[in-house]
Structure 1
Amino acid sequence: MIRRTLSTLFPPHVRESGEPPLGPRADRYEAWSGVLNFSRRPRQGALGDCWLMAPMLAIHSVDPEFFANAIKVQPGSSKALARVFVEGAPAWRSVNMRFPVNERGRFAYATEEGGGPGWPGILEKACAAEFSGSYAWIARGFAKWGFPALTGVSASTRLVLPSPGELEDLLAQKRPVVASTHMFSTALSRGRQSGAIPPMHVMAVAGAKPDTGEIVLRNPWRPGAWVTLNRREFRRAFLSVDVLDQPLGRSREGS
Structure 2
Amino acid sequence: MKTNTSNKLVKFLNQDYDTLKAQCLSKKALFSDPTFPAAPESLGFNLLGPNSDMAKEVVWKRPKDIIQNPKFIVGGATKADINQGALGDCWLMAAIASLTLDPDILARVIHPEQNFEENYAGIFHFQLWQYGQWVDVVIDDLLPTRNGKLLFVHSLDKNEFWSALLEKAYAKVNGSYEALKGGSATEGFEDFTGGIAELYELNKAPSNLFNIMKKALSRGSLLSTSISVKDVTKEQLVKTHAYSITAAEELVRLRNPWGHKEWNGAWSDNSKEWDYVLPQEKAKLNYSADDGEFWMAYSDFVERYSKVEICNLTPDLSSSDHVGQWALQQFEGNWKNGSTAGGSSKNTATFSSNPQFVMNLDHESHGGMHTCSVLVGLMQKDMRKERKLGHNFNNICFAVYPHKGGKLSHEVLSTAKAAFTSEHYARREVSQRFALPPGQYIIIPSTYEPNHEGSFLTQVPLVGVSAPTMYITAAKYLTTQ
Q: TM-score range with shorter-chain normalisation? A: 0.7 to 0.9
Q: Distance in 2 between matches of 1:45 and 1:230?
A: 29
1:111 counterpart SS class: coil
Supply the AA of the counterpart residue of 1:235. Answer: V
Q: Aligned pair 1:35/2:81, yes or no? A: no
C-alpha contact (below 8 Å) 1:51/1:146 kept by paired residues:
yes
Figure out how many residues of one structure are paired with residues of the other and give that number.
225
C-alpha contact (below 8 Å) 2:71/2:159 kept by paired residues:
no
Q: 2:179 aligns with which of 137, 142, 151?
A: 137
1:114-133 alignment to 2 at 5 Å? 114-116=157-159, 118-131=161-174, 133=175
Q: Distance in 2 between matches of 1:89 and 1:117?
A: 29
Q: Aligned pair 1:221/2:258, yes or no? A: yes
Partner of 2:11: none
Q: Distance in 2 between matches of 1:155 and 1:180?
A: 15
For structure 1, list consecutive stretches of 5 or more residues without a partner in the other structure: 1-14
Q: 2:243 aligns with which of 165, 184, 203?
A: 203
TM-score, normalised to structure 2, is 0.43
C-alpha contact (below 8 Å) 1:71/1:119 kept by paired residues:
yes
Q: Distance in 2 between matches of 1:44 and 1:88?
A: 28
Q: 1:78 aligns with which of 104, 115, 122?
A: 122
Q: 2:302 aligns with which of 235, 238, 243?
A: 235
Q: Distance in 1 between matches of 2:253 and 2:292?
A: 10
Runs of 4+ in structure 1 displaced over 6 angstroms?
A: none
Larger Rg: 2
TM-score, normalised to structure 1, is 0.78
Q: 2:36 aligns with which of 17, 26, 34?
A: 17
Q: Distance in 1 between matches of 2:158 and 2:198?
A: 32
Q: Distance in 2 between matches of 1:142 and 1:124?
A: 15
Q: Aligned pair 1:92/2:136, yes or no? A: yes
* Displacement of 1:169: 1.6
C-alpha contact (below 8 Å) 1:30/1:101 kept by paired residues:
yes
Question: Aligned in 2, Cα 1:245/1:68: closer, same or farther, shift over 3 Å?
Answer: closer
Identity of aligned residues (%): 22
* Displacement of 1:121: 1.3
* Greater helix share, structure number: 1
Q: Aligned pair 1:246/2:313, yes or no? A: yes
Q: Say what the alpha-carbon RMSD is for the aligned residues.
A: 2.5
Partner of 1:156: 198
C-alpha contact (below 8 Å) 1:71/1:80 kept by paired residues:
no
For structure 2, list consecutive stretches of 5 or more residues without a partner in the other structure: 1-33, 49-53, 65-69, 261-290, 319-481
Moved more, 201-210 or 232-241: 232-241
* Displacement of 1:112: 2.8
2:162 counterpart SS class: helix
C-alpha contact (below 8 Å) 2:128/2:134 kept by paired residues:
yes
Question: Aligned in 2, Cα 1:165/1:122: closer, same or farther, shift over 3 Å?
Answer: same
Question: Aligned in 2, Cα 1:164/1:86: closer, same or farther, shift over 3 Å?
Answer: same
Tell me the alpha carbon deviations over residues 123-181 of structure 1, each in whole angstroms, 9 at most, x when there is no partner.
211111112x1111211222221112111222122214564333222111111101122
C-alpha contact (below 8 Å) 1:40/1:113 kept by paired residues:
no
